[in-house]
Amino acid sequence: DIQMTQSPSSLSASVGDRVTITCRASQSISNYLNWYQHKPGKAPKLLIYAASSLQSGVPSRFTGSGSGTDFTLTISSLQPEDFGTYYCQQSYTTPLTFGGGTKVEI
């Protein structure tokens, strides 16, 4: 199975800060990497697919980069509504696996 490791596991930042979350795969997954935002009691939301493609309707302050084993999600200017837990997910092969999550507090 492909293991996905996210860091940090949590962070606290201020409105307007630039925030970076990293995700590392245990083997190369090309660009089969997706990012989600999850808030308590709500449906998870797809932000970025194929490592760097912005999902329709997602603000442009969210960007994804990377390929192979190392990936990054960047929020260029953190907004109050960006709190929640962020997960990476590899879609290279089954079992599809998620990172452990990064909890973002404002």
Asked if 43 is part of the footprint of other proteins (rule: CB under 8 A), the reply reads yes
In the chain, which ranges are E strands? 4-7, 10-12, 19-25, 33-38, 45-49, 53-54, 62-67, 70-75, 84-90, 97-98, 102-105
How far apart CA 27 and CA 73 sit, in angstroms, is: 19
Q: Could you say which of 52, 55, 72, 76 contacts other proteins (CB under 8 A)?
A: 55
Q: Could you say which of 49, 62, 66, 73 contacts other proteins (CB under 8 A)?
A: 49
The nearest distance, CB 15 to other proteins, in angstroms, is 26
Backbone CA torsion sign across 72, 97, 7, 54: positive
| Stretch near other proteins under the rule CB under 8 A, chosen from 15-23, 34-42, 59-67, 69-77 | 34-42
Asked if 71 is part of the footprint of other proteins (rule: CB under 8 A), the reply reads no
Using alpha carbons, select from 67, 82, 86 the residue that is nearest to residue 24.
67
| Stretch near other proteins under the rule CB under 8 A, chosen from 18-26, 36-44, 60-68, 70-78 | 36-44
Residues of this chain that interact with other proteins (CB under 8 A) are: 32, 34, 36, 38, 41-46, 49-50, 55, 85, 87, 89, 91-101
